[in-house]
Structure 1
């Protein structure tokens, strides 16, 4: 093997070594292995229910990872619920009064712990070894339980509707009531027909009355003409009498 081949092998070896070193650094930085090289402080959170939360689950604050779950949930010795140890990066400070909940990545996603700091400016921070109260967001199992309760209520409502419809069929829509209702409609139809006949008769009377009023008007017009002629005759007679009285003769 000559010097040129040895130089080429050395360059390839250095390139491979650098690549492996970079790969190892990335694994340590972004993988679970790197968690063992970081410094933490521990706090304990009490949850009423931490179902689905596992050891090494992420702890997020504002969407950024700030630690991990230090162990599986364990039952409390006094009271109800479970306690979950959280390992928080030593450079992260959690304000007192922060809301700590168990969240889920979607309906079927992995569980994680989410920390929501208070809106006001923090004046104190949670110390190492502190115990705080947590909450739990609703997941698929909670929605399933609520859906089951809703279906149960819906079935009860449907049963009540069926009972009401049955009573309506038995009482209001019974054969006797339907017969009475039919009789009522028959009577109403007869009454309507009678009113129609009466209306026709009234129309005839009105037409006759109109004819009578026309004849009366015509007679009145003739009387007025006769009165006018009589007035003219009387005026002529009066004039003749006046002339006779004065001695002028007819």
Structure 2
């Protein structure tokens, strides 16, 4: 009897020992999975909507689990503060400008926090830092977008159905083209004429290009005008001379016009002779009188020379003129 009780006690002791061992191993395993016994830092991110995120969910960085969510709580209207416990060994690789977003562990798995980005030049994240949240479209947003796209697609399908029906009935330009063979032939001819015009325009473009190349040919007139300053200066000088000639011709024309106007007036001798017959006759009479007076004066002077009273005077004057001529000849 006593041996049986001892055996039961031993069996119970063995089961208790096995249970204790299993409990300790489970705690160690669970703690290792949750990184409970590892040194860690705490960082925070503030979300408008955590989409079902809860305490204990994992935190991933570059595809590696680096921590867990230690707390989720409200801090204000539409503001949810999510505190993360990050393994201290991962701290040197996470920088302060890294972004935080909510993801899923698989297609329909638990929600997780994903840390990504960050510049190597930025400081390393420290305990108590707050990371910037990146906006990610939720499943509801995607479903709303898909639903709106379905509505738009339905409207487009409806419009296209009505359009195709009108086309088959011959309505509109496209329907008329499909139903009216005459209009189709006219459109075909129009397109042919347009093609001919396009070809002509292409040929004209080639001709203009050739003309431009000829103008730009080295040694040509355009090339000399643009590059040869001597030729350009000669042409400029010729233009200046031509301008002077034009100005001189204009001035000569003006003078001739002035002279012509004076010839048509009677305020000058020539004008009187040309336009006033009576005045011209008076001028001719005066000229005749002057000529007659001159002849008479010559006769009087001739007579005076033979007068014995003035004969000595004219001899002295003639002698003085002869002496002057001799002196002039001797001086030479």
Query: Please, what TM-score do these two structures have when normalized by structure 2?
Result: 0.42
The number of residue pairs the alignment matches comes to: 178
Asked if 1:149 is matched to 2:133, the reply is: no
Structure 2 Cα separation of the partners of residues 106 and 35 of structure 1:
19
- Residue in 2 that maps onto 1:135: 134
Q: What is the CA distance between 1:52 and its match in structure 2?
A: 1.8
Q: What is the CA distance between 1:34 and its match in structure 2?
A: 8.7
Is the CA contact (8 Å cut-off) linking 1:102 and 1:111 kept in structure 2?
Answer: yes
Structure 2, gaps ≥5 residues long = 185-332
Paired residues for 1:19-98 under 5 Å: 19-31=18-30, 38=37, 40-72=40-72, 74=74, 76=76, 82-93=80-91, 94-98=94-98
Q: CA offsets, 1:166-191, max 9 Å, x none?
A: 4323515989x85x559x9xxxxxxx
Paired residues for 1:150-229 under 5 Å: 150-168=149-167, 169=169, 171=171, 178=179, 181=181
Q: CA offsets, 1:7-58, max 9 Å, x none?
A: x445434432332123212432344899696464321113354212122222
Is the CA contact (8 Å cut-off) linking 1:105 and 1:111 kept in structure 2?
Answer: yes
Stretch moving more, 29-38 or 16-25: 29-38
Q: Which has the higher helix share?
A: 2
Secondary structure of the structure 2 residue equivalent to 1:72:
strand
Structure 2 Cα separation of the partners of residues 155 and 13 of structure 1:
73
Structure 1, gaps ≥5 residues long = 185-250
Answer with 1 or 2: which has the greater Rg. Answer: 2
RMSD of the alignment, in Å? 4.0
Structure 1 Cα separation of the partners of residues 40 and 72 of structure 2:
17
- Residue in 2 that maps onto 1:112: 112
Structure 1 Cα separation of the partners of residues 107 and 75 of structure 2:
25
Q: CA offsets, 1:208-242, max 9 Å, x none?
A: xxxxxxxxxxxxxxxxxxxxxxxxxxxxxxxxxxx
Stretch moving more, 31-40 or 131-140: 31-40
Change over 3 Å in CA distance of 1:81–1:121 after alignment to 2: same
Q: What is the CA distance between 1:103 and its match in structure 2?
A: 0.7
- Residue in 2 that maps onto 1:228: none
Q: CA offsets, 1:115-141, max 9 Å, x none?
A: 2365x7577321111111122555533
Structure 1 Cα separation of the partners of residues 63 and 28 of structure 2:
18
Secondary structure of the structure 1 residue equivalent to 2:161:
helix
